Amino acid sequence: MKGGNLVNKFVKVIELLAIENHDEKSYLRIKLSFEEEYELCWEIERDTANNLKNICQFNGNHKYRLSLHITSETSNNYFKSVLTKTYLNTSQRIYFNCSVEYKKNLEAIKNSNSMNDLDLLPFLSISMTEIEDTNATQTNSIISKRYNTTIKWISGGVIGFIFIILFGYIYNLYLYEAEINNTVVANAEAKIKEVNSNSNVTSHTNLSSEVSSNYSFPYVMLTDSVAYDIPEGYVAITFDDGPSKYTTEITDILKEYKVGGTFFFLGINAKKHPDFVRYVQSNGYSIGSHSMNHISMSNLSITDLEDQILQSTLAIEDITKEKLVLFRPPYGALNEQTKDVLYNHDYKITLWNKDPEDWKSRDADKIFDYVRNNKTSGSIILLHESQAVIDALPKIIEYLQEQDLKIVNLH
């Protein structure tokens, strides 16, 4: 998929509005957003429809978004996909089994570049259901999508057969007001920068954070979609690229000093070392995703982006049995497409404003000197799992505590 294609200029979002059965067939009523918003009826096979019914409650309180991502085959020709359930400011990702047919049709939607492409997909239609009276049989007419794309729903009173005979298809039309997607896309532009010891840390994300100690360690709740600092008086030490052979020792040092820490794991490493993931979790430390394979995400198509994000999420959540919220893109590489995909999956992008470049020096003294020589209040410090970090970490913690700073988890 080329970067210049329209599919890469618009992030597709599929909102699930209802699941309906008509004439022994199952349909998903969806709102598809990318160029504009289109309300469509998607015919799917019964098993996938039932799997979705079991996890959805269409009571007006929740909204549901279908992921464009499918994981690898599970068993009996079934795959796994993701439904995001949102209510007010909370969201939950729910996995469900889906069929080969659902996977094939989802990929067709994902690869469509325009409404003309969608128009050619035989499983998608604009739908109209009329109930003539309470005793009549409910009928569902799947009508052509060749109408102007601005017509979202075609409805009216009872249309007599005489009008069909004399005038063809004449309908009373009205437009539903398109519902604004409730996903909040932050306008903040994350900018990673070094702040020297003589300058003040400023928040480029208008960060509003809640500080709490309800967990094992004090933590800062990040409320903005992009964050690279935290309130003054607090410090977050973060560790990338694990889990690794260094994970448990880093955890033990944090635990010994009774301070917080946040680990950003790669999905591929989590699969190799699930016990290390559980060890971090069981000791009360925060876990985020750092992608599946540590690829620069700014150069990826939307399909590959979702693969990197959701495969990693699935790998880690299968181990922790807890929802993953924090995401740190490899190299801090962000463009609008990457941010849009992460926002649509309700991740908090967690960057940093202090980088000792420990991966380059591999020198414990240089790592510590960097921390000591820079203003650390309100900072998110980027470290990587290594022996040099293990050697430097006790001195870093002791120095931060001497500055009367609280070392917190990120949530």
Q: What H or E segment, with its residue span, contains residue 31?
A: strand 25-33
Distance CA 294, CA 405 (A): 31
Cβ within 8 Å of residue 25, ≥6 positions away: 43
- Check 69, 273, 294, 384 and give the catalytic one: 384
What is the sign of the dihedral through the CA atoms of 299, 318, 30 and 142? positive
**Contact between residue 282 and residue 320 where contact means Cβ atoms under 8 Å apart:** no
The residue whose two tokens read 């729903």 is 153
Distance CA 157, CA 146 (A): 22
Total count of residues recorded for the chain: 411
Active site residue 240: yes
- Check 224, 229, 240, 355 and give the catalytic one: 240
**Contact between residue 345 and residue 354 where contact means Cβ atoms under 8 Å apart:** no
**Contact between residue 43 and residue 58 where contact means Cβ atoms under 8 Å apart:** no
Cβ within 8 Å of residue 154, ≥6 positions away: 126, 128, 143, 147, 171, 173
Q: What is the SS3 assignment for 85?
A: strand
The set of catalytic residues is: 240, 384
